[in-house]
Chains A and B, each alone.
Chain A
Amino acid sequence: MDTRRESEPTSTQNRTTVERKSDRELVVTRSINGPARIVFEAFAKPELFKRWWVPKSFGPSLLSCELDVRDGGTYRLVFSHDGSEPMAFFGRYLEVTPHSRLVWTNEEGGDGGPITTVTFEERAGKTLLVFSDLYPSKEALDQAIASGSTGGLSETLDQLDELVVTLDGSHL
């Protein structure tokens, strides 16, 4: 049985796919209507990045977002959820190739964090985004999935879960 899930086709045919590519790797893809340099800009500028990485519907609010998008630069995102203890997500950019490739570490969970690689492939004015989270071991990915922490937004998943249940009680 395939673990891939695809959303309903939208008018623009830009579908999000989520797939466990291997024991250690989780891959998300989506095509964006725009050239790679513009999509890349939305990753590189904190004021743009925070608008889409943390959509309003998520629930947890973003207290701060610092991105130093260059080789060896660091990033730090701090979330708060209903006045709970703020939670920080942080790491380092291992590779920054403008308009084509970003690689960063996820260090909030200690050594077991994944390495995230994002590639931007431009075709006919559209950009195919490929997000790959590569974990150090199969166990690390299994654990991340089991705890709902993949993507660094466990609170988000929790919040979204509540939202989905509210919107559609029959869905889950």
Chain B
Amino acid sequence: MVQYMSARLDASFAALSDATRRGVLEQLGSSDASITDLAEKFHMTLTGMKKHVGVLERAGLVTTEKVGRVRTCRLGTRRFEEATAWLERYHQVWDSRFEELDKVVAELKRKESIDGHKKRK
């Protein structure tokens, strides 16, 4: 099958499929934080948090910068926008389907009430 969407999205969705990583993104949405801060907030070891941040970084969702001994993480928006844009489009496909389904169902309901009327006569 021809692939229309960038394969790069793959990494974004894998990154977003984990609750802790979504939490980290939410956290970084309100302010930048160091890996130590994040590990404390999510009750994880530094190593565990480094792994999560690594996944987010590879997906382009987060960027990190080391100043002295502290690695600061902040939100990188590009990939996340791509991922949400896809969901937005997928949502629109279903929305237009359901709008048509509404019409079909309304038509069937009308037909049924007319038929019911005829039968009663």
Q: With an 8 A cutoff between CB atoms, is A82 at the interface?
A: no
- With A1-B16, A34-B108 as contacts: A146 and B93 at CB distance below 8 Å: no
- Point out the residues of chain A lying under 8 angstroms from B108, CB to CB: 34, 38, 41-42, 48
Q: Which of A3, A53, A58, A145 contacts B9 (CB 8 A)?
A: A145
In the complex the two chains form, is B98's CB within 8 Å of A14's CB? yes
Q: With an 8 A cutoff between CB atoms, is B65 at the interface?
A: no
Question: What are some 24 contacts across the A-B interface (CB < 8 A)?
Answer: A1-B22, A14-B98, A16-B94, A18-B91, A32-B101, A33-B102, A33-B106, A34-B105, A39-B105, A52-B103, A55-B99, A58-B96, A109-B1, A138-B17, A142-B13, A142-B14, A142-B17, A145-B10, A146-B5, A146-B13, A147-B1, A154-B1, A158-B4, A161-B4
- Point out the residues of chain B lying under 8 angstroms from A108, CB to CB: 1
The B50-75 residues at the A interface (CB cut-off 8 A) are none
Q: With an 8 A cutoff between CB atoms, is A156 at the interface?
A: yes
Inter-chain contact count A-B, CB under 8 Å?
137
Chain A residue at minimal CB-CB distance from B82: A172
- Point out the residues of chain B lying under 8 angstroms from A158, CB to CB: 4
CB distance from A60 to the nearest CB of B (A): 12
CB distance from A116 to the nearest CB of B (A): 13
Interface size of A in residues (CB-CB distance below 8 Å):
51
Q: With an 8 A cutoff between CB atoms, is A143 at the interface?
A: yes
Which residues of B are interface residues toward A (Cβ below 8 A)?
1-10, 13-14, 16-17, 22, 25-26, 29, 80, 83-106, 108-109, 112
Extra 18 A-B pairs, beta carbons < 8 Å, given A16-B94, A33-B105, A145-B9: A5-B91, A16-B98, A20-B13, A32-B102, A34-B108, A39-B101, A39-B105, A42-B108, A52-B98, A52-B103, A57-B96, A58-B93, A58-B96, A142-B14, A145-B86, A146-B8, A157-B89, A161-B89
The A145-162 residues at the B interface (CB cut-off 8 A) are 145-151, 153-158, 160-161
Chain A residue at minimal CB-CB distance from B92: A160
- Point out the residues of chain A lying under 8 angstroms from B87, CB to CB: 3, 5, 18
